[in-house]
A and B are shown apart, each in its own frame.
Chain A
Amino acid sequence: MSEVVLNTVIKSRGPWATAMRRLWRDRAAMAALTCFLIILCMCLLAPVYAGWSHAEPFKSTLDATIQINGQTVNVMEQSTEGLGLGYNPIGPTWQLGNYFLGADNQGRDVMSRLLYGGLNSFLIAGAATVLTLFFATLIGLAAGFFGGVVDAVLSRVLDILWAFPVYLLAISLSIVLIAHGIEIGPITIESGSLWLPIFIIGIVYIPYVARPVRGQVMSLRQSEFVMAAIGLGASNSRILLRDILPNVATTLIVFIPLMMALNMLTESALSFLSIGVQAPDASWGTIIQDGQGLLYSRPMVALAPGLAIVLSVLALNVLGDGLRDALDPRSKIKLGRG
């Protein structure tokens, strides 16, 4: 009943303006957006931070020394435990620009690596999202609009991809490509390139987006305004671009932060398994892996990037929820599984 009332109450503004107003009033979503932007900006400043701190983010610097409170300290200290043969990297100094979060087992500055790693994580998640959305939209539009054989073939392929566990598909692709890269026609991706994880993550999530898009296009195809356009003799391309795509766009926009979140988790997992970002490049996943060996002695190496992931993914998920509520309150897009 109250729904009926509310529908009569909301005055007609443009749908986008209404959505933006709703989003703007959503305090949780705005806080999440701010948080996400702050983390992103910090990562974008990685080269500035690294240049200012004079600590090596990528080369191993086992014999480096730093000044703490006027004293010269080795970045790698002789271990005092056990036989005293190993070396322990220095722990967090909590002095910005001076091994703030300590060093990893190669004497590299964890803070610098964290910022650079974040850059890679965002880049991969973002690029993979673009890739997924692009191909998923193409497939969803084609299958949903043309139906028949096109739909049958595409849907069956999506069924198979859907049944294939995401991590296994990603692992299979990674292990085949990791040592030798890939060449498809003019495109060559070398092993170790960031494009490899982008490509892999972008592919594995296509069914997640393509299926709902296809469903939406199919119902739009049956809707009265599209029928009317067909009746008026509008061309397919005109109907697709003018009538269907704008309606699908809201779904796609809601998917952006949610897919970003999912991709960040997937990227970090693949990198943790050493089949994502390859050394000497860093991402939050690889830093957590670096930190695994130091977990009990220098936990900050693994804790910091993990916290960064949790914060970013949490922000993206909250933002995605807010966007969905603002754009399409009745939609059924669910949070992805990771």
Chain B
Amino acid sequence: MLEVRDLKVSFHTEQGPARAIDGVSFDVAEGEILGVVGESGSGKTVSLLAVMGLITDPNVVIEGSIKYQGRELVGLPAKEMRKLRGREIAMIFQDPMTALTPVYTIGWQIAEQIRAHNSISAKQAEQRAIDLLAEVNIANPHEAIHRYPHQLSGGMRQRAVIAMALSCNPSLLVADEPTTALDVTVQAQILDLVRKLQKNHKSAVVFITHDMGVIAEIADRVMVMYAGRIVERGNKVALFSNPLHPYTKALLDSIPLLEGERPRRLKSIPGSPPALLNRPKGCAFAPRCANRFEACASVPVLPNAGHDAACFKVNP
């Protein structure tokens, strides 16, 4: 359904161009949940913003190909892109506190999106907003549509944002760390909600997070990103049981286990991710990798197989 090929996103800075995304390719199939993991700055959000056409900064250059249901999105006129956005592809953002316009009621904001894409009356749009709020388990939806964002708790707001994203039955939903800003108990509820809605609406979901635990909970397939590239990709079960890339291994090692013997100390990855303008020439993870060798001086490719990693140890 979504095919991204060799996507590159570069920023023009005072000190020359900086490549935030360096040749990323992936697919999203109908109805699946793809988890995208990586540290902040790994490019997971930027690549999905590029898919949404939400990078408006004139200093940014986007290259490569993004095909949505066979249609090329890179270079698509803004007006056409706008018709897709919100109707076909919807997005949920990280911080529900700031994601809603403070001066309008949530009912108004949901109805606004519905009416931007469908020619229906204000009355019908309001009814649809009420139904949506009920669907995301907000109590008293008749009353809730008249609430302003600041009158709702963080979890409630995120539910409202999700209701808004689902309002036009999108076939692809991009969720950018939707649970990060929430309390742990609320996080679980929201994850359940996303899963339930994904089943009901049969949308595909791209779920961005830095939390391997969340991925384990929700994803069908996983894509691990590091320094603007995909380092490993595969089925969730395969990837968790048999991580190939040293970075993925390190990520999994840093999660506390619920069963079995607890390690005395959680492992952490030595060093820190490279700065955007200062990325290594070859494999970006090499400086932090215990297994590096001569081959790591060039960029490893990610084979287009079911479960594979961009690492010379795995694919010599």
Seen from chain A, the residues whose Cβ lies within 8 Å of a Cβ on chain B are 1-2, 4-6, 8-10
* Contact (Cβ within 8 A) B18 A5: yes
B261 at the interface (CB under 8 A from A): no
Interface set, chain B 243-286, CB cutoff 8 A to A: 275-277
**Best-buried of A4, A5, A6, A9 by chain B (most CB within 10 Å):** A5
What chain A residues lie within 8 Å of B59 (beta carbons)? Answer: 2
Enumerate the 7 nearest inter-chain pairs by beta-carbon distance, A residue then B residue, closest first.
A9-B13, A2-B57, A5-B11, A8-B275, A2-B11, A8-B276, A9-B15
Residues of A within 8 A of B41 (CB): 4
Closest to B58 in A: A2
How far apart sit A10 and B13, CA to CA, in the bound complex (Å)?
A: 9
Residue among A2, A6, A8, A10 having the largest count of chain B Cβ atoms under 10 Å: A2
Q: Is the CB of A2 within 8 A of B60?
A: yes
**Closest Cβ of chain A: how far from B221's Cβ, in Å?**
26
17 contacts across the A-B interface (CB closer than 8 A): A1-B20, A1-B45, A1-B49, A2-B57, A2-B60, A5-B11, A5-B18, A5-B20, A5-B276, A6-B14, A8-B275, A8-B277, A9-B13, A9-B14, A9-B18, A9-B277, A10-B14
Q: Please determine whether A1 and B55 come into contact, CB atoms closer than 8 angstroms.
A: yes
Q: Is B191 an interface residue (CB 8 A)?
A: no
Q: How far is the CB of B117 from chain A (nearest CB, A)?
A: 26
Tell me how far the C-beta of A244 lies from the nearest C-beta in chain B, rounded to whole angstroms. 30
With A2-B11, A5-B20, A9-B13 known, 19 other A-B pairs at CB within 8 A are: A1-B20, A1-B45, A1-B46, A1-B49, A1-B57, A2-B57, A2-B60, A4-B41, A5-B18, A5-B276, A6-B13, A6-B14, A8-B275, A8-B276, A9-B15, A9-B18, A9-B276, A9-B277, A10-B14
Per the bound structure, the CA–CA distance linking A2 and B54 in Å amounts to 13
Give the nearest-CB partner of B15 in chain A.
A9
Give CA–CA (A148, B211) in the complex, Å.
45
Interfacial chain A residues near B46, Cβ < 8 Å: 1
Q: How far is the CA of A19 from the CA of B46 in the complex (A)?
A: 30
How many A-B contacts at CB < 8 Å in the complex? 28
Q: How far is the CA of A4 from the CA of B15 in the complex (A)?
A: 15
Tell me, rounded to whole Å, the shortest Cβ–Cβ distance linking A6 to chain B. Answer: 6
Given the complex, which residues of A lie within 8 Å of B277, measured CB to CB? 8-9
In whole angstroms, how far apart are the Cα atoms of A6 and B11 in the complex? Answer: 9
Q: In whole angstroms, how far apart are the Cα atoms of A257 and B102 in the complex?
A: 36
Nearest A-chain residue to B14, judged by Cβ: A9
The CA-CA distance from A2 to B61 in the complex, in Å, is 12
User: CB-defined interface of B182-220 with A at 8 Å, one 1/0 digit per residue?
Assistant: 000000000000000000000000000000000000000
Cα separation A2 to B41 with both chains bound (whole Å): 12
CB-CB under 8 A from B45, the residues of chain A are: 1
In the complex, chain B residues whose CB is within 8 Å of the CB of A6: 13-14
Specify the chain B residue showing the minimal Cβ separation from A9: B13
Smallest beta-carbon distance B201→chain A, Å: 29
A279 to chain B, nearest CB (A): 55
Q: How far is the CB of B309 from chain A (nearest CB, A)?
A: 27
Determine the chain B residues whose CB is within 8 A of the CB of A1 once the complex forms: 20, 45-46, 49, 55, 57
Q: A8 to B20, alpha carbons, bound, how many Å?
A: 12
CB distance from B54 to the nearest CB of A (A): 10
Q: Considering the chains assembled together, what is the distance between the CA atoms of A1 and B41 in angstroms?
A: 10
Nearest A residue to B46, CB-CB: A1
- A17 to nearest B CB, angstroms? 15
Whether B55 contacts A5 by the Cβ 8 Å rule is no
User: In the complex, what residues of B have CB within 8 A of residue A4's CB?
Assistant: 41
Type the 1/0 row for B16-50, where 1 means its CB is closer than 8 Å to any CB of A: 00101000000000000000000001000110010
B42-75 Cβ-contact flags toward A at 8 Å (1 or 0) = 0001100100000101011000000000000000
Q: For A2, what are the chain B residues with a Cβ–Cβ distance below 8 Å?
A: 11, 57, 59-60
